[in-house]
Structure 1
Amino acid sequence: MSPLLTTAAVLLVLIALAHSYLGEKFLIGPLLKDPNVLIFKRAPLTKNILRFAWHITTVAWWGMAAAILDMKGADGKNLLSMYAYIITFAVTGAMILAWTKGKHAAWIVFFAIAGCLFAAA
């Protein structure tokens, strides 16, 4: 197992945990408690959909971390999957960087994950 793949997987697990915890504490939780958000009054199911949609990202990232740990890297196996992940995490980093003008530091982690995977390919 390449240390680069392990590093990418660990970074992904950590950012997933941070995403769920910090998102729930500072974004989702307060938003769902805000009585001024009209859509929650009109469609109560929306609260649950928003919460599970937020946290399902964490579950997906954990699954991706497990798949990364299963990759072989430089020996030529799983390269299509690896390049798909490289592109996915590079684009994710670029979107976060662009949309937040660099104010949300997650772009650094996603570029680091893409870089680890690229170097291991």
Structure 2
Amino acid sequence: MIWLWLSAACMAATALVHGYLGERRLVGPLMMLDQGIMGVDLARRVFRLAWHALSLLMLVSAVSVVWPDTPRALIMLIGAAWLTTGLFDAAYTRGRHIGWPILTAAGAFALIGAGA
């Protein structure tokens, strides 16, 4: 069970960092642009919504892996998704994105905790 709590902690930390640093370093500066698609008010609103909705979904993942009686298969699916995302992030950014280690760890811990 400790592995699932470690996974949830990684997921929750990722969500908080994603929401806070993403807003400060990416979303906020993009909102100041008034060119191309960022000049369209609806696009700006949807971008910000999607960014923070993703952070919320990360928190839902965290709760799901430690929720009592969550089916093992669901935990494995969540873990596999996080692990795959982390590994893809590492490869795609050539290891330069700060998120890949914790994304990968969250997924690995969930899979270990689910007994995969």
Instruction: Give me the TM-score of the superposition, normalised by structure 2.
Output: 0.90
Gap regions ≥5 residues in structure 1: none
Provide the secondary structure at the position in 2 that maps to 1:105: coil
Structure 1 residue 30: Cα displacement: 0.3
Amino acid at match of 2:83: A
Q: Tell me, what secondary structure is at the counterpart of 1:102?
A: coil
**How do residues 13-92 of structure 1 correspond to structure 2 at under 5 angstroms?**
13-35=12-34, 37-41=35-39, 43-70=40-67, 78-92=71-85
Shift of 1:26: 0.5
Q: Which runs of 4+ in 1 moved over 3 A?
A: none
The structural deviation recorded for 1:99 is 1.5
| Equivalent-residue separation in structure 2 for 1:49 and 1:57 (angstroms) | 12
RMSD across aligned positions (CA): 1.5
Q: Which residue of 2 aligns with 1:108?
A: 101
**Which 10-residue stretch deviates more, 44-53 or 82-91?**
82-91
For the 8 Å contact 2:64–2:75, the answer to whether it is kept is no
CA contact (8 A) 1:71 1:82 kept: no
Distance 2:59 2:84 in 1: 18
1:40 Cα deviation from its structure 2 partner: 2.8
CA displacement 1:28-75 (0-9 Å, x = unmatched): 10011023x22233x211110000000000110111111111155xxx
Partners of 2:110 and 2:38 in 1: how far apart?
41
Distance 1:11 1:106 in 2: 10
**Aligned residues, how many?**
114
